[in-house]
């Protein structure tokens, strides 16, 4: 049978089939039926049948062969027409209720044995065919147990790293003792540094003056060797090494017996500075108070580790606060550089955990624009883990005193390789500001910032920092080994800031070789103390 609709849509002709001349002609009355309605109805039912067919085919493919065509269609369209999603596509509400309830450790420990792994959990659920509530309870118990184990392991790791980084390795202790003995028995180990004819060079502002504060002989030797070996004009290099009373003799003996000529080396104990020996020194008073407050406020490492409520990274910060480094005068003395070197106009300050890989004389050509501190920013760079530090990373902006004076999103900068314009510094109140905020931190029970010298430095030098190219200072080699060797070798100065110092056993082996290349392992003192690559 064939259906023929006239072009005017007013006549419909029905033909029985080919070979028959008989046909039936129906005239559609325009008054009773709309020809457009007939046409659009046919189209609608055609598309509807195709849609039902597709849904049925999809249900069959998905394995839902038991539902009928109309049933599948209702199941698919019904919830959507009513403005809600089918319950089968979402997470049952009971699971959220169980997971959001506070964890009760005693209930978990008294309950059935908690699955120890994901495989055990899946096998248990398959065997018991549990409902959603029991599923959530067992899942929560397993995750809580694994979280607690991870937390304990992380805290143990932080404790071991704290002990390893805070202790003095026996090799370094041996080196200091042997050099002290050499100083007392060998006249060549007691030579004046520098020799009398070179003393005027110590105040000659036409030379390149570097300052290194350290009580670690081996670390200081690497900084000095890398500085001189990579200098294009070693005869213009003057390195002022500041140390404490106990390390003065060993440091003097090392550099007396290991000449770096034509560079000029000065070794001087803090007790030998006239300014330091006169009257009261603010930083010493602050350190004494800081040590008393910290001993009462922080407690010992065992008390810190026994805390069951604080997160591992908080415990790590508290353990770090116990490090002798933060009580070391060598770590605070840089704030008094203008008084220690009253005749110098500009110096480059170096930490003892850096390695210099290029000539640093171009630093004297940098225009500081009247600023005091030339430093590298630490919030911009490809390495987001290392170069992501802002003021909020160091200062406690929940404290109203900090929130009132500083911007949490202001970019921080790095200590370790800094250009200090001492002439401009003397025209400011930077040192006074530093000591004022140290006092405020003591009054607030050490709650204004993370412990260390950088946070008060960020405050004291605020508005006095000139940003220099990141090439001059690459950071983070002491707390991560993600930095590629190619990038590390291409930097002018690399800094092993962090716990994994290159002279410790916990140093990262790949990065440590950048430091050990400046250690002469054939030296008799190095060999006798069993210091190895």
Give 328-340 pLDDT, tens digit per residue.
777 788 898 999 9
CA neighbours closer than 13 Å in the CB half-sphere of residue 239: 30
Question: Phi and psi at residue 137, in whole multiples of 5°?
Answer: -65, -45
**Is the pLDDT at 4 greater than 60, yes or no?**
no
Report the alpha-carbon distance of residue 452 to residue 242 in Å, rounded: 19
**Is the pLDDT at 122 greater than 90, yes or no?**
no
pLDDT: which is higher, 95 or 374: 374
Report the alpha-carbon distance of residue 514 to residue 484 in Å, rounded: 12
pLDDT at 214: 94
**Is the pLDDT at 287 greater than 70, yes or no?**
no
Report the alpha-carbon distance of residue 264 to residue 233 in Å, rounded: 12
pLDDT tier for residue 52 given thresholds of 50, 70 and 90: low
Residue range 136-145, pLDDT digits in tens: 777 878 888 8
Contact 283, 329 (CB under 8 A): yes
Bond before 262 cis per omega within 30 degrees: yes
Q: What pTM value is reported for the model?
A: 0.73
**Is the pLDDT at 285 greater than 70, yes or no?**
no
pLDDT at 26: 46
Contact 416, 376 (CB under 8 A): no
pLDDT at 28: 45
Contacts of residue 367, defined as CB under 8 A and 6 or more positions apart, other chains included, come to none
SS3 12: strand
Report the alpha-carbon distance of residue 155 to residue 160 in Å, rounded: 9
**Is the pLDDT at 48 greater than 90, yes or no?**
no
**Is the pLDDT at 413 greater than 60, yes or no?**
yes
User: What Å distances lie between residue 303 and 318, 324, 461, CA to CA?
Assistant: 10, 18, 35
DSSP state of 377: B
Please give the full DSSP string across 107-154, using - where no structure is assigned: HHHHSSPPPSSHHHHHHHHHHHT--HHHHHHHHHHHHHHHHHHHHHHH
Tokens coding 460: 């004291």
pLDDT: which is higher, 465 or 103: 465
pLDDT at 50: 62
Contact 470, 381 (CB under 8 A): yes
pLDDT: which is higher, 294 or 132: 132
User: What is the arithmetic mean of pLDDT over 333-357?
Assistant: 95
Residue range 77-120, pLDDT digits in tens: 555 545 555 555 577 787 777 777 776 666 555 555 787 877 88
Contact 495, 483 (CB under 8 A): no
**Is the pLDDT at 195 greater than 70, yes or no?**
yes
Contact 449, 455 (CB under 8 A): yes
Contact 495, 353 (CB under 8 A): yes
Pair type for strands 346-350 and 354-356: unpaired
Mean pLDDT for all residues in the chain: 81
Q: What percent of the chain has pLDDT over 70?
A: 73
Strand partners, 373: 420, 465
pLDDT at 279: 56
Helices (H), 167-281: 170-185, 217-229, 245-257, 274-277
Report the alpha-carbon distance of residue 27 to residue 255 in Å, rounded: 119
User: What is the arithmetic mean of pLDDT over 204-230?
Assistant: 97
pLDDT at 184: 95
């Amino acid at each position: 049978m064939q259906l023929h609709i006239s072009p005017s849509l007013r006549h419909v002709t029905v033909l029985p089939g080919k070979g028959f001349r008989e046909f039936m002609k129906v005239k559609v009355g325009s008054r009773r039926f709309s020809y457009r309605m007939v046409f659009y109805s046919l189209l609608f039912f055609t598309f509807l049948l195709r849609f039902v067919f597709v849904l049925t085919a999809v249900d069959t493919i998905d394995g839902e062969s038991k539902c009928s065509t109309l049933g599948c269609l209702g199941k698919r369209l019904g919830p959507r027409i009513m403005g809600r999603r089918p319950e089968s596509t979402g997470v049952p509400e009971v699971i959220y209720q169980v997971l959001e309830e506070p964890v009760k450790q005693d209930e978990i420990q008294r309950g059935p044995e908690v699955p120890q792994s994901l495989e055990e959990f899946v096998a248990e659920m398959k065997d018991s065919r549990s409902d959603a509530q029991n599923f959530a309870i067992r899942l929560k118990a397993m995750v809580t147990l694994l979280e607690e184990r991870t937390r304990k392991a992380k805290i143990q790791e932080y404790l071991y790293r704290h002990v390893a980084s805070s202790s003095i390795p026996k090799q370094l202790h041996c080196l200091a003792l042997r050099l002290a003995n050499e100083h007392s028995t060998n006249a060549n180990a007691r030579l004046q540094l520098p020799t009398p004819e070179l003393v005027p060079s110590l105040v000659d502002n036409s030379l390149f003056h570097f300052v290194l504060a350290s009580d670690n002989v081996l670390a200081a030797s690497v900084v000095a060797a890398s500085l001189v070996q990579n200098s294009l004009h070693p005869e213009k290099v003057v390195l002022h090494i500041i140390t404490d009373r106990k390390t003065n003799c060993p440091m003097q003996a090392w550099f007396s017996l290991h000449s770096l000529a034509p560079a000029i080396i000065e070794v001087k104990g803090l007790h030998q500075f006239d300014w330091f020996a006169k009257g009261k020194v603010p930083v010493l008073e602050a350190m004494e108070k800081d040590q008393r407050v910290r001993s009462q406020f922080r407690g010992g490492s065992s008390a810190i580790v026994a805390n069951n409520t604080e997160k591992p990274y908080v415990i790590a910060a508290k353990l770090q606060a116990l490090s002798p480094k933060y009580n070391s005068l060598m770590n605070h003395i840089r704030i008094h550089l203008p008084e220690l070197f009253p005749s110098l106009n500009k110096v480059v300050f170096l930490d003892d955990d850096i390695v210099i890989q290029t000539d640093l004389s171009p630093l004297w050509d940098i225009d500081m624009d009247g600023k005091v501190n030339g430093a590298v920013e630490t919030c911009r760079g490809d390495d987001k883990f290392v170069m992501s530090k802002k003021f909020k990373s160091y200062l406690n902006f929940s404290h109203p005193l900090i929130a009132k004076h500083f911007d949490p999103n202001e970019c921080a900068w790095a200590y370790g390789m800094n250009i200090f314009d001492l002439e401009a510094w003397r025209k400011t109140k930077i040192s006074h500001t530093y000591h004022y905020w140290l006092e405020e931190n003591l009054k607030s029970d050490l709650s204004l910032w993370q412990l260390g010298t950088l946070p008060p430095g960020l405050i004291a030098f605020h508005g006095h920092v000139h940003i220099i190219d990141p090439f001059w200072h690459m950071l983070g080699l002491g707390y991560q080994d993600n930095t590629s060797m190619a990038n590390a070798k291409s930097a002018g100065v690399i800094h092993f800031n962090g716990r994994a110092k290159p002279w410790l056993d916990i140093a990262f082996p790949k990065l440590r070789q950048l430091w050990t290349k400046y250690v002469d392992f054939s030296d008799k003192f190095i060999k006798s103390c069993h210091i190895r690559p």
